[in-house]
Structure 1
Amino acid sequence: MRLSEHIVVRARGYAKFTGLKTYNKNLKTLLAIGGWNEGSSRFSPMVANPERRKELVKNAIKFLRQNHFDGLDLDWEYPSFRDGGKPRDRDNYAQLVQELREEFDRESEKTGRPRLLLTMAVPAGIEYINKGYDIPKLTKYLDWMNILSYDYHSAFEPAVNHHAPLYSLEEDNEYNYDAELNI
């Protein structure tokens, strides 16, 4: 089987990226899947199906190890929302995270290699968090969460605001570090 040029270029890019660890032995490299352009149309059916979750978990471990990544960052924007999202995405996504963690643990115990890291990008807005993310369950299985605080404000608003405020302003007390991190 011949690899397409696109895949070869991507693989070389991965090698360059993970190769940065030669300059810093403490550097951890993670592969992110998802992102804004991905939406829910493929994530939602995948997490709803136990066999497809199992396949993703198995393939993720294989791919991460073959390409010398230290872990996986999940960036589904946003479960239960957007093009094809379903209310059950919240529970199914948490189930996927649990299954990833359990298999990452097993693989590490079996091989003696360091356990793969598992992280997640989560939205800043409480409405997205409440409907799409089972925070109590997720915190049991994730190494950390990256809060998409740049989403507090955007170019779609009529006035300029700080995109990641730590503290509330009088006119905007909903979107800030203090309000959102007390989930």
Structure 2
Amino acid sequence: MALLKFLLCFLLFPLIFSSSITAGAAPMLPPVKAAYWPSWVLETFPPSAIDTALFTHVYFAFLMPDNRSFAFEYPDTTAAALSQFTTSLTRKNPSVKTLFSIGGGGSDSDLFARIASDASSRQIFIDSSIKTARKFGFHGVDLDWEFPKDTTEMKYFADLIIQWRKTIDREAKTTSRPPLLLTAAVYYASEFRTYGERRSFPAEAISKSLDWINVMCFDYHGSWDTSATGAHAALFDPHTNLSSHYGLRSWISAGVPRNKMVMGIPLYGKSWTLKDPNVHGVGAPATAVGPGDNGILTYVQVQEFNKRTAATVVYDIRTVSAYSYVESSWVGYDSVQSTTTKVEFAQAIGLRGYFFWALSYDSADWEISTHASNAWVDDRR
């Protein structure tokens, strides 16, 4: 059924991917079924609680370098958390790969620019990241710089990942160890003007230096605009460029190989207060944020909201998203149906895989994560 709906969506919203998709067969690589684990939930959702059978890669979020030395300096509590993370996951599933993510939303973007602007500071940062990964048994590192603010900083971003890749390869050769994975979380579109001037990510450097990019296909709508409801992770949007279809197409058009792109899926929803309870579709007039923390509910909270209020649940085929409403409260999110459709879509257009933000947000029985994992068909021969 999910595949049927995906095909209907595919026909209703033709993709302008044809030349990129059909021109040449990309190398078949192991799929990525990833998720970020927010380290601040350590006490309530420790790494040992993660169902590692559902994921190929799990990210520790987040670390930040020191703002003076540019190296990673961590207190004993952080060191213990890093060790617990890798040890717990490897013990449960030796095949799962662990990475630590550097930065994150709300981190100091200017610090990354300072580090990346100079070869010597880049090397200090890079060497320290590799040392940290090896010390705690990680398989790789991830950069979540949100976001380089202009063309100059995009050049710094390119310089950083190029130098990082060279150092990783050199370290692996010197130590006779497998090279660390190097990934980056990036904006949903390759070119954008949000948070600064119009600029583009360095597609060539990304293609050559990173194992893949985690494309953040979410947060298209939120508390910054309370005038209307929105599908905050819409796969399609017939009216605007705020959609994963648009963003992924921009990355493909920029020249990033499809097998170096991993599609982000949120395990949380966004809520609004309806202006008129009788008008409740995607894009319905609203007056304020709705239930949750500044209008944000985790998937498990969405489930609780639906059950507690006996909310009406709707699947919106136009955007490939779900929403629930009761009286003036409205919540948009990804359901099992929209998630499996997105996973099928990602595989159909040749992406490397998908990732979730964030672990601990799913239901206790791993409903979304399980259906997503089952939806991706590993057809390597």
> Above 0.5 in TM-score?
yes
Displacement of 1:11 in angstroms is 1.0
CA deviation string 1:42-86 (max 9, x = no partner): 111111111100111111111110011111110010102xxxxx5
Check the 8 A contact 2:217/2:247 in 1, yes or no.
Answer: no
Q: Indicate the residue corresponding to 2:174 in structure 1.
A: 110
Alpha-carbon distance in 1 for matches of 2:192, 2:143: 19
Instruction: Specify which of 97, 100, 124 is matched with residue 28 of structure 1.
Output: 97
CA RMSD of aligned residues (A): 1.7
Question: Runs of 5+ in structure 2 lacking a partner?
Answer: 1-73, 251-381
More strand by share: 2
Tell me if 1:101 matches 2:187: no
Q: Distance in 1 between matches of 2:76 and 2:104?
A: 22
User: Is 1:79–1:132's contact at 8 Å kept on the other side of the alignment?
Assistant: no
The aligned counterpart of 2:107 is 38
Displacement of 1:132 = 5.0
Distance 1:128 1:145, change over 3 A: farther
Question: Could you give the per-residue CA deviations for residues 4-24 of structure 1, whole angstroms, max 9, x where no partner exists?
Answer: xx7111111111110111111
Q: CA shift at 1:178, angstroms?
A: 1.7
2:153 counterpart letter in structure 1: D
1:178 aligns to 2:245 (yes or no): yes
Runs of 4+ aligned residues of structure 1 deviating over 6 Å after TM superposition are none
Amino acid at match of 1:144: W
- Name the % identity: 31
Q: Provide the C-alpha distance between the structure 1 equivalents of 2:183 and 2:101, rounded to a whole number of angstroms.
A: 9
Partner Cα distance (1:109, 1:143) in 2: 17
Match of 2:186, SS state, is strand
Quote the offset at 1:162 in angstroms: 1.1
1:15 aligns with 2:83: yes
| Comparing 60-69 and 32-41, the one that deviates more | 32-41
Aligned partner of residue 181 in structure 1, secondary structure: helix
> C-alpha offsets along residues 101-159 of structure 1, whole Å, 9 cap, x if unaligned?
11111111111111100110101244159615212221211111111122222221221
1:127 equivalent in alignment to 2:212: no
Number of residue pairs the alignment of both structures matches: 171
User: TM-score with structure 1 length normalisation?
Assistant: 0.86
The structure with more radius of gyration: 2
When normalised by structure 2's length, the TM-score is 0.43
Whole-Å Cα distance in 2 between the matches of residues 123 and 22 of structure 1? 33
Q: Which residue of 1 aligns with 2:152?
A: 88
In structure 2, what is the equivalent of residue 143 of structure 1? 211
Gaps of 5+ in 1: 1-5, 81-85
> Which residue number corresponds to residue 166 of structure 1?
235
Q: 2:130 aligns with which of 40, 49, 61?
A: 61
Deviations 1:156-179, CA, capped at 9 Å, x for gaps: 12212111111123xx33011221
User: Residue 337 of structure 2 corresponds to which residue in structure 1?
Assistant: none
- Whether 1:78 and 2:142 are equivalent positions in the alignment is no
- d(CA) in 1 for partners of 2:240, 2:165: 36
2:132 match: secondary structure? helix
Instruction: Decide whether the 8 Å contact of 1:121 with 1:148 is kept in 2.
Output: yes
In the aligned structure 2, how far is the partner of 1:94 from the partner of 1:63?
22
Helix, strand or coil at the partner of 1:29: strand
1:151 is paired with a residue whose SS is coil
Distance in 2, Cα, partners of 1:28 & 1:128? 34
Say which structure is richer in helix: 1
Preserved contact between residue 165 and residue 209 of structure 2 (Cα < 8 Å): yes
- Relative to structure 1, the CA distance from residue 177 to residue 53 in structure 2 (aligned partners, 3 Å threshold; closer, same or farther) is same
